[in-house]
Amino acid sequence: MAGVAWITGASSGIGRALALALAREGWLVVATARRAEELQGLVGEAKGLAGKVRAEAGDVTDLVRLQAIVAGVEQDVGPIDLAIVNAGLFLPVRADAFDPERFRRSFDVNLMGSVNALAAVMPRMIARRSGRIAVTASVAGYGGLPSSAAYGATKAALINLAASLKFDLDRHGVIIQVIAPGFVDTPATRSNPFPMPFLMPLEAAADRIVAGLSTNRFEITFPRRFTYLLKAINMLPYGLYFPLVARATGWSRKRA
């Protein structure tokens, strides 16, 4: 499977690793992010691979720019076969340093940025009755975790959003998937103030995602022994859930 792929948030972390992984498999990858210099570095790194990377700088909070990117790509090289809606940021939130601006920024980028990307590419796929969309969420969307009030809320919203859209997209011949990784070694996760079990190297996570994109299953989640455990924990009564998560993350030992 190869064709034209569009990835938002492609300048670092999972997005960058996915761009290189897909280029190795022969895809033409359109990489979008705000940092043009980082994108040019990605283009250079992809030289010599079976596919290639095309840099299209843009901010996911700018719907008009995203629409222009998609229109330009489809005019130049053909339909986008795969869209990975990936741009996101992690801003820790604590109750004793509660900052509404962190919520505003998180929702603007993680949630509304994803909505903007969908608005740019989804109507074209529906019109063609073909295409695949993958929305990057997180296991933080399964339930509340320490310091993740803003980030987790956006990821929970993305899981719900993708699941809700699936009912319509199934009827239009468009595949939608949600990517819910466990802890992956990225600049964002390195700021987590608690132990991260089953922490995965970035390249291994990208390989898992690429493998999941070759299937039609709705959720791409890994490592399953961890993510399924989290799903099970979130089915517990809150009287058990909170002390268990606090103990597992070391939060019960932290001073206020």
Q: Indicate which residue of 142, 151, 228, 238 is catalytic.
A: 151
Half-sphere exposure of residue 2: CA atoms within 13 angstroms, side-chain side = 13
Residues 6+ apart with CB under 8 A from 79: 3, 4, 124, 128, 130, 131
DSSP letter for each residue of 119-142: HHHHHHHHHHT--EEEEE--GGGS
Q: For residues 212 and 171, is the Cβ–Cβ distance under 8 A?
A: no
Q: For residues 158 and 166, is the Cβ–Cβ distance under 8 A?
A: no
CA distances from 16 to 21, 33, 42, 186, 206 (A): 9, 10, 7, 11, 9
Tokens 């940025």 sit on residue: 113
Q: At CA 149, angle to CA 145 and CA 150, rounded to 5? A: 135
Round the CA-based radius of gyration of the chain to a whole number and report it. 18
| Catalytic site includes residue 241 | no
- Residues forming the active site: 151
